[in-house]
Structure 1
Amino acid sequence: MTTRHREDARGRGGSSSPHAEHDDVAPAVAVDGLYKRFGSGPDAVTAVDGVSFAVEQGSVVGLLGPNGAGKTTLIKSIIGTVLPDAGAVRIMGVDVREAPREAYAHVDAMLEGARNDYWRLTVRENLRYFATVGGVDPDSVATRHDRLLDRLDLAAKADEPVRNLSRGMKQKVSLASVLAGGADVVFLDEPTLGLDVASARTFRAEIRRLAAETGLTVVLSSHDMEVVEAVCDRVIVVADGRIVADDTVDALLRADEHTLRLTSPAFDADVVTSLRERFTVTDVERLDRGARIEVTADTDGLYALMDALRRRDVPLTEVRSVDPGLDDVLLDLTGDDPGRGTGE
């Protein structure tokens, strides 16, 4: 289940729009030296330790790390549900300490592990309600709501009370409610939890569409690396409350390098030695006949490798790509398995 971070429209000054004009060059989210500790003395736990980063408007950024890395506390410290001990946060150029209502008028969030929508209301009523809370006339965005209901396969359940829906359907209602509210920046913690394969694919497409067509900024925390690779422009990796990597998915995956596993009965000692002299051979497994080797190279290097094998008349009985996935990269960076889920 999930929770929404939106102040009541009356408490935000009523007429303040989530899409008010701000400096075009201002980041959607700017975090500077954010710090949060729980407890005191020898039992104190530093959940967020001097974190700084910026998220450009219209981008989709993944916030990743192992269980207990501090991701959820970081998100809560940014959106104001946890009060940080130090540091500054600006949303769409607005300092959250100086003008919290104005800053948070731009934000919506869905946090895994807490209740979100009103289950006695219908699906459509939830979308209308949260659009109103966001300072948006629900009638003015009715077409957007219809499109979301259709894209997320909720149209047939639009007039059904949320409490009657399955867990996966409730998760989709939470997503629709967040995306329907008209916020400039949304924080999504485990947004595909409970979704089937088709629904997760729909979610990925909708996030990319909204970012491209409306300029929506998304900060997404998930253990689903397929979702992260599909939708994120950039990934921030957190471990022990600190940022340990901040780069594009391609850069983290070293997209300019590839690893191939090659098997051949002709891989004898001479051939392997010759290959080692020219290429990065990372592993050799001797077989009854020949060997199985792994070679890492960029694209030009792979072409050169194939040319070298052809010149030596080396037959290949198996060729496999063994490039590491994003989960492997995170394991190397953090020493923990991101697939175990999220934590504070």
Structure 2
Amino acid sequence: MIEVKDLSKSYLSKKNRVDVLKNVSFCINQGEVVGLLGSNGAGKTTLIKSLCGLIEPDAGQVTIRNLAVNHQDKRALKYISSVLEGNRNLYWRLTVKENIEYFLGNRGISRKSISIEMNNFLKKFSLLEKKNELVKNLSRGMQQKVAIIIALMSQTEVLLLDEPTLGLDVEANNEIRNFLKEIVKTEKKTILISSHDMNLIERLCDRVIIINKGEVVTDDSVENLLRLFQAISYQFIVDRPLKEEQNEKLRQRYPTMRSGFIEGNHTLEFTILEKKDFYQIVEMLKGFHVFIESIDKHQINFEQVFLTLVKGERQYATI
């Protein structure tokens, strides 16, 4: 449904050229729900706007249903609807009803044909009583619901969501999460969600693409990434540094091992998935006649794995 091939985009600043996207490539199949993760400035919004045809890349190509997205040919855009940065898709001085009618009218969809569907959507997502309310008077969560409803009613096969939970309080965040979960369940669309909200991505997506400094650093299923999150990291404080051949033997079996010197202590760090590995490490250290002074354990969580990947330290991905 979506193919991005060698996409690059840069901008000139006062001092130099900034590469926002660097040869980004990926595909999204019909019906897939894919998360796009990255830190501020990673290139997520530029990528989303390139998919929408709002930004023309310097190199590479975006195709939707085998149609190229470019400024000369708009045919591909009939398959796409988008919500950019939460609630920026709306006219705040229009009512909810007027916003829906206006934006769908731009796509050639008449007021009369959407009347029943609009009421059904507004009722389903607890907005029917706000139908004639000015958008500027709604909460941010309600505004973002209206923007997403407009995208859904546009009758496109592809839905692009850029930061749908941006700036929301805890209650509104949970409301939008449940809202999107219902959409994923019932609408059967191809969806790309760009977000900082890793819990949202985990709940909704089949697959995750993580970009950092304009490059794809990982593209994998949520299931595989969750397997990484189940890893446990152990820090051993030992009485002396290992010999080089001892370090090499450990690294051959445990590629994620790191050795260091922290606060006057010699340390060895391992990230493992199997409990049996812990005992094997202890036995190997015993065989090296190294005394273990202490062991510290901590769980690898979603945040840690994400930060590790965007920093380019891919050792966790080798587990």
Identify whether the pair has TM-score above 0.5, normalized to the shorter chain: yes
Alignment counterpart, residue 189 of structure 1, candidates 162, 168, 174: 162
Contact 1:234 1:248 survives alignment (8 Å):
yes
Alignment check: 8 A CA contact 1:152 1:202 kept: no
The Cα of 1:194 is off from its aligned counterpart by: 3.5
Letter in 2 for 1:83: E
Q: Is the counterpart of residue 157 in structure 1 residue 123 in structure 2?
A: no
Residue 243 (structure 1) aligned with residue 216 (structure 2):
yes
1:108 alignment partner in structure 2: 81
Given candidates 197, 208, 220, the residue that maps to 1:224 is 197
After TM superposition, give the deviation of residue 302 of structure 1 in Å.
Answer: 5.2
Once residues 180 and 124 of structure 2 are traced to their aligned partners in structure 1, the CA distance between those partners, rounded to angstroms, is 11
Relative to structure 1, the CA distance from residue 144 to residue 231 in structure 2 (aligned partners, 3 Å threshold; closer, same or farther) is: farther
Aligned-residue sequence identity (percent) comes to: 40
What CA distance in whole angstroms lies between the structure 2 residues aligned with 1:256 and 1:324? 5
* Correspondence for 1:330: 306
Deviation at 1:296, TM superposition (A): 6.5
Partner Cα distance (2:87, 2:98) in 1: 20
Q: Answer whether contact 1:171 1:195 (CA < 8 A) is retained.
A: no
Bigger mean CA deviation after superposition, 104-113 or 219-228: 104-113
1:7 equivalent in structure 2:
none
Which residue of the partner structure matches residue 6 of structure 2?
33
- TM-score norm. by structure 1 comes to 0.67
1:124-150: CA deviations, max 9, x gaps?
A: 221222222233344444444234323
Q: What is the rounded CA distance, in whole Å, between the counterparts of 1:80 and 1:182 in structure 2?
A: 18
- Equivalent residue for 1:178, pick from 148, 151, 156: 151
Partner of 1:92: 65
Flag structure 2 segments of 5+ consecutive residues without an equivalent.
Answer: 235-249, 258-268, 279-296, 313-319
Cα root mean square deviation, aligned: 3.6
- Cα 1:73–1:153 change in 2 (3 A) is same
1:67 to 25, 40, 43: 40
The aligned residue for residue 101 of structure 2 is 128
Question: 2:81 & 2:163 partners in 1: Cα distance?
Answer: 15
**Cα drift, residue 87 of structure 1:** 0.7
1:59 and 1:211 in contact (8 A); partners too: no
Report how far residue 53 of structure 1 moved.
0.6
In 1, Cα distance between the equivalents of 2:175 and 2:111?
24
TM-score by length of 2: 0.72
Amino acid in the other structure paired with 1:328: Q
Q: CA deviation at 1:172?
A: 2.6
Inter-CA distance 259–72: structure 2 relative to 1 (3 Å threshold): same
Pick closer, same or farther for the CA change 1:214–1:42 going to 2, 3 Å. same
**What's the CA shift for 1:198?**
4.3
1:192 counterpart SS class: coil
Q: Distance in 1 between matches of 2:72 and 2:183?
A: 27
Aligned to 1:51: 24
On the 8 A contact 2:206/2:222 being kept in 1, the answer is yes
